[in-house]
Structure 1
């Protein structure tokens, strides 16, 4: 079995790629690449950007790379390699196109060398493989950012739980557990417009509205975790994504709120691997 494979994380505005040593469970030094991508670009612009980044990784390594494992946001036909993303602010030009065939053609490799997997599932797979869920045989994962990613790990494999659209409060879960909720709610409370959670922390940490918005978020996150846990009955959970970088303002409260609902303390951990989790999880699929 090939023990050095390429892991790739495709985001709405970036691509991150590296070679992963599956024995050492970490990236091969000097192969890490992160590039901006215009997710609203034409299909050729997007494919050119991805191909260029992949070529950078390949050229940084003397050996051969026989497998490429790509973490991709949904909706996506992962086995076939066809993008089904349409009503989103990214990759609309790829809708209905066979990305696997197009990439293989541009990279001059066989389509059998390219594999796609859901990005939230890859995140959780990476955390189980060598991160904060290592040692657990049954876990759930959340990525909190522009959108809400949810995954469930059982029987040695992580899969997309697809709970972002779960009915929640007056809408769906993603309405309350994403960057857009923070932007909307903070504006309602303070009249101030923010770009994202990072700006909220940098400019307004400690203000009454800041404390209120994070208190509400902690309650929402605990309520969602409670529903998720009741449906899947995992042993632990892990949280990643950009919003998790503000963990000091909500994670302890989330644990406390959840413990009140559950009647006992349930493990809710922050990602150990952060951005590397998704790459490592994608690559780990090579040995599953």
Structure 2
């Protein structure tokens, strides 16, 4: 049977999904859906919103041909589709079998639904239709509100969960996520920014200083943790990566000084990588 593949990315504030063209290895833009979700809301409302969004994306498709790949944040039992998020977002669906709920409400078999970690889905998307097609060993890093780390060595990408690993006087995420820019800018100026976008409008000298410091942190992280995976390439994604030209040279210098010569690739798909990767994961899992 030829399947209609749907990639779904479930985030803390939105659900984003699309049908996937498996020949072109890209999203079918006419089916693209993005809807707001209150992840702090009650279970019934969360499921209603998810199902409504999925129904928009699958409109007109035969139910028996569907295959759903769903990228979810952790902690989560991905094989069985059970949420293990006990704190913060999605607390009201803790220990709920989401695969069972979605199958029933969408009139699908549970065998048509696959879950994958959201960081791993990012890398799967870049391997499937993005910037690292054909590579055999790839380490993925997403730099944004949080720090995502994932590794692929020939079968499925795995979540490496390095965000809270020891780093300097704290943990990795404190130096590599958006909050570092907010905190450091406050230290230097006494003023507040919300993220790297705000830096584009600031004095160039200050901008250069912050991105140089950030490049050193990222380089140190790669030397301390990533090099031991011996990847052919490192792929960077997330919103901070969109500013890569501002810290590329310093990062490359740091890596060369530490005898690291791995290829750095920049995400081709960015926000949509997890959608494409979730779909790819579902295909590979058949």
Task: State the partner residue of 1:95.
Answer: 94
Task: State the partner residue of 2:86.
Answer: 86
Task: State the partner residue of 2:9.
Answer: 9
In the aligned structure 1, how far is the partner of 2:179 from the partner of 2:73? 18
Q: Is the 8 A contact 2:223 2:260 kept in 1?
A: no
Give the unaligned 5+ runs of structure 1.
none
Offset, 1:273: 1.4
- Structure 1 length-normalised TM: 0.92
The superposition leaves residues 251-275 of structure 1 with CA deviations (integer Å, 9 ceiling, x where unpaired) of 33222211211x2532111101112
- Structure 2 length-normalised TM: 0.93
In the aligned structure 2, how far is the partner of 1:284 from the partner of 1:250? 31
Q: 2:208 aligns with which of 208, 211, 219?
A: 211
Task: State the partner residue of 1:200.
Answer: 199
Give the unaligned 5+ runs of structure 2.
none
Q: Is the 8 A contact 2:10 2:16 kept in 1?
A: yes
Task: State the partner residue of 2:30.
Answer: 30
- Counterpart secondary structure, 1:164: coil
Task: State the partner residue of 2:282.
Answer: 286
Distance verdict in 2 for CA 1:39–1:198, change over 3 Å: farther
Q: Is the 8 A contact 1:72 1:119 kept in 2?
A: yes
- Counterpart secondary structure, 1:217: helix
Q: 2:229 aligns with which of 232, 235, 242?
A: 232
Q: Is the 8 A contact 1:79 1:116 kept in 2?
A: yes
Task: State the partner residue of 1:161.
Answer: 160
Distance verdict in 2 for CA 1:37–1:4, change over 3 Å: same
The superposition leaves residues 55-95 of structure 1 with CA deviations (integer Å, 9 ceiling, x where unpaired) of 11011x4455421100111111111111112333x222222
Q: Is the 8 A contact 1:255 1:266 kept in 2?
A: no
Count, aligned residues:
283
In the aligned structure 2, how far is the partner of 1:13 from the partner of 1:111? 25
